[in-house]
């Protein structure tokens, strides 16, 4: 068996048999077979049922389920069960519970209640992973390992004393000297200069109306993402010490506002990329966010197949209004993921719970039972996926355009003392993606550290608000432009280096000044209720600037507002600079011209997406909630 995602199409979901009687287990097997389920994720939240007190393990029920699944031809994605520590552990070691920025230690009772720097949690989690691999590592039903669950979902940052100690170690490794740290953080401001390492604390809550040092905050996010990665690596090492044949992964979260983990950094540590995606129910075009997240996930996987580990058959139970999916919607969602590179469609969860916090979350087997709309859809999807098994070995067709997506910039843009609080990094990236999606232009995602070779595969690279760029990154993108690549950068791109120190001599640094030929002198944010008219009839919101084209040609100037007459959109050779947040119609017209000029391939549009994977072409009509797929020859 290889350490990659097997070339199969997986179908199933989280299975929590500990919530049910043995009688139900047998019914589950029958229904799983009927639905075509071939993989279930076991044990995500089972720690307390597997280790009932320190060092006392009860694997009896899991042994039984493993065998039952195997007899029924169903594979297991085995979770290490470490997502939520049991009450006996937090009672014995309350110091492993997380502490928030205000200094309050949070209580046991929800989930993911642990400090990401806790050595006790880390040791106990690795021990459990170790016990599980010894017991199930060679079970014939085992297909893959699923470490923890959605790391960083509820406990991304902990502010306790143990975290503070680890933080100082991390800082010493990064900066070596206090002088270097003081320089990077700009501590000669507000009397923040440090003279001893132990004066430095996590960026805890500061007096009202003030903010923690922005670079300290940024570093704390980097540190926390690294601490969480260390937890993952400790469990991974425990498994690898025994099982060298099954692939190991953890489920990422691909949700519009899940920003806590730098998945570009994590992607190389998983044997294959897996993710969870939930629709934003209130968004009538939420299938575009789905496409965005699936494409981003394929980016983490470097274009290779990945696995959708969770989504929902219908409503979730954690949004304001949990809308049910329309007929056909769940099938369209699943096939969009498959077309965009997922080797299957997995759900949270197999059978809807009758108690606990998620009892109103939809499942593959709903409360209504098998004679239900949902279960009929589930069976239909199972049949559809069985016809697509051959696709699993093939990647999704490469796009001609790449968008840079940068967690580091996102983190820096999360500070609250920016020129406008209207700044929302993922929103701008979504604006651009949505316009291209509607035009039928596909987009791949790349990291700001993508190699020149990777960039060279694309006709255009988009940089919506890539706020931080190191000199090296700046040079790489400049080179891409000088070699004939087309770059589209927005306002607030290339503003600071990776320490969040502003570059002088025109905002946007050398990239905006030289490669794009624009000198940005001053920002001029727009009132929330207003928009600015541009000379080409377009409208901008949120942001305007005092800027002039030096070596670029002006495409549009601001017609009103304080910066009237300044360059709003500029073009130099095949690259563009956009100095405002264009509204949807203006953005579509911009990208329409852009795709015409670059002669980009267009397929679908108007609510229909057309995607090719291997020799298959999928046409998914989100307005009608219907799909067709066919084999193509070209």
Long-range contacts, stretch 57-60, CB < 8 angstroms, 24+ apart = 57/131, 59/131, 59/135
Helix (H) or strand (E) holding 300: helix 286-300
Of residues 274 and 443, the one with the C-beta less far from ligand GLA: 274
Give me the least distance between CB of 320 and ligand GLA, in Å please. 14
DSSP designation for 360: T
Interface residues toward ligand GLA, by CB under 6 A: 149-150, 276, 278, 310, 316, 348, 358, 361
Three-class secondary structure of residue 346 per DSSP: strand
Of residues 348 and 629, the one with the C-beta less far from ligand GLA: 348
Q: How many CA atoms lie within 13 A of 115 on its CB side?
A: 29
> Tokens standing for 603?
């397929």
Give me the least distance between CB of 361 and ligand GLA, in Å please. 5
> Tokens standing for 479?
């080179």
What are the start-end ranges of the E strands in 172-322?
248-249, 251-253, 274-276, 307-310
Annotate 198-224 with DSSP letters as a single string. GG-----PPSTT----HHHHHHHHHHH
Give me the least distance between CB of 147 and ligand GLA, in Å please. 13
Distance of CA 504 to the CA centre of its chain: 32
Active site residue 310: yes
Active site residue 150: yes
Look at the chain and count its residues: 634
Of residues 276 and 609, the one with the C-beta less far from ligand GLA: 276
SS (H, E, C) 532-572: EEECCCCEEECCCEEEEECCCEEEEEECCCCCCCCEEEEEE
Give me the least distance between CB of 366 and ligand GLA, in Å please. 15
Of residues 248 and 428, the one with the C-beta less far from ligand GLA: 248
Distance CA 573, CA 576 (A): 8
Q: Which residues fall within 8 angstroms of residue 397, CB to CB, at 6 or more apart?
A: 442, 611, 612, 613
> Tokens standing for 601?
């391939």
Catalytic hit among 51, 127, 131, 150: 150
Handedness of CA 599, 604, 609, 611 (dihedral sign): negative
Of residues 44 and 97, the one with the C-beta less far from ligand GLA: 44
- End-to-end alpha-carbon separation of the chain, Å? 33
Catalytic hit among 51, 127, 131, 310: 310
Three-class secondary structure of residue 108 per DSSP: coil
Of residues 205 and 357, the one with the C-beta less far from ligand GLA: 357
> Tokens standing for 224?
């926390």
Give me the least distance between CB of 352 and ligand GLA, in Å please. 11
Give me the least distance between CB of 101 and ligand GLA, in Å please. 24
Of residues 303 and 366, the one with the C-beta less far from ligand GLA: 366
Of residues 329 and 617, the one with the C-beta less far from ligand GLA: 329
Give me the least distance between CB of 144 and ligand GLA, in Å please. 16
Give me the least distance between CB of 258 and ligand GLA, in Å please. 10
Catalytic residues: 150, 310
């Amino acid at each position: 068996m290889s350490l990659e995602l097997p070339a199969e199409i997986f179908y199933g979901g989280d299975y929590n048999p500990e919530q049910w009687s043995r009688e139900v287990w047998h019914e589950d097997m029958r229904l799983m077979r009927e639905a075509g389920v071939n993989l279930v994720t076991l044990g995500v939240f089972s720690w307390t049922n597997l280790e009932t007190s320190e060092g006392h393990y009860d694997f009896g029920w899991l042994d039984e389920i493993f065998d039952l699944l195997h007899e029924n031809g169903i594979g297991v994605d085995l979770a290490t069960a470490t997502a939520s520590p049991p009450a006996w552990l937090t009672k014995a070691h309350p110091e492993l519970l997380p502490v928030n920025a205000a200094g309050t230690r949070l209580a046991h009772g929800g989930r993911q209640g642990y400090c990401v720097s806790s050595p006790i949690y880390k040791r106990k989690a690795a021990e459990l992973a170790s016990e599980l691999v010894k017991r199930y590592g060679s079970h014939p039903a085992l297909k893959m390992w699923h470490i923890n669950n959605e790391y960083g979902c509820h406990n991304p940052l902990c502010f306790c004393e143990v975290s503070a100690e680890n933080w100082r170690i991390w800082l010493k490794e990064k900066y070596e000297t206090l002088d270097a740290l003081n320089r990077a953080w700009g501590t000669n401001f507000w009397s923040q200069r440090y003279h001893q390492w132990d004066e430095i604390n996590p960026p805890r809550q500061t007096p009202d109306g003030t903010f923690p040092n922005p670079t300290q905050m940024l570093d704390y996010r980097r540190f926390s993402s690294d601490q969480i990665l260390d937890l993952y690596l400790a469990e991974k090492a425990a498994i690898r010490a025994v099982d060298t044949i099954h692939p190991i992964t953890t489920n990422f979260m691909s949700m519009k506002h899940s920003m806590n983990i730098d998945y570009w950094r994590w992607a190389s540590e998983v044997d294959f990329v897996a993710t969870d995606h939930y629709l934003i129910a209130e968004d009538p075009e939420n299938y575009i966010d789905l496409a965005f997240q699936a494409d981003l996930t394929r980016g983490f996987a470097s274009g290779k197949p990945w696995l959708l580990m969770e989504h929902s058959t219908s409503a979730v139970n954690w949004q304001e209004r949990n809308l049910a999916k329309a007929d056909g919607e769940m099938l369209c969602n699943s096939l969009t993921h498959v077309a965009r590179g997922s080797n299957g469609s997995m759900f949270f969860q197999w059978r809807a719970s009758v108690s606990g916090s998620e009892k109103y979350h939809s499942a593959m087997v709903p409360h209504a039972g098998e004679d239900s709309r949902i279960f009929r859809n589930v069976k239909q999807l199972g049949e559809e996926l069985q016809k697509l098994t051959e696709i699993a070995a093939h990647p999704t067709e490469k796009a001609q355009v790449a968008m840079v997506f940068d967690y580091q910039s996102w983190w820096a843009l999360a500070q609250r003392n920016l020129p406008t609080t209207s700044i929302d990094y993922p929103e701008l990236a979504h604006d651009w993606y949505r316009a291209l999606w509607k035009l039928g232009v596909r987009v791949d995602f790349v990291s700001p550290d993508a190699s020149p070779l990777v960039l060279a595969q694309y006709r255009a690279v988009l940089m919506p608000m890539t706020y931080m760029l190191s000199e090296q990154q700046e040079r790489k993108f400049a080179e891409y432009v000088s070699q004939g690549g087309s770059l589209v950068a927005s306002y607030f791109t290339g503003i600071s280096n990776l320490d969040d120190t502003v570059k002088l001599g025109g905002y946007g640094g050398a990239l905006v000044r030289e490669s794009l030929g624009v000198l940005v002198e001053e920002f001029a944010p727009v009132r929330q209720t207003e928009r600015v008219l541009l000379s080409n009839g377009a409208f901008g919101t949120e942001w305007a600037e005092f800027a002039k084209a030096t070596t670029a040609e002006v495409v549009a100037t601001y017609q009103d507002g304080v910066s009237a007459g300044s360059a709003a959109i500029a073009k130099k050779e095949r690259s563009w600079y956009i100095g405002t947040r264009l509204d949807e119609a203006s953005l579509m017209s911009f990208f329409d011209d852009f795709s015409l000029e670059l002669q980009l391939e267009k397929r679908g549009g108007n609510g229909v997406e057309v995607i090719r994977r291997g020799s298959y072409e999928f046409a998914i009509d989100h307005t009608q909630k219907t799909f067709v797929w066919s084999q193509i020859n070209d």
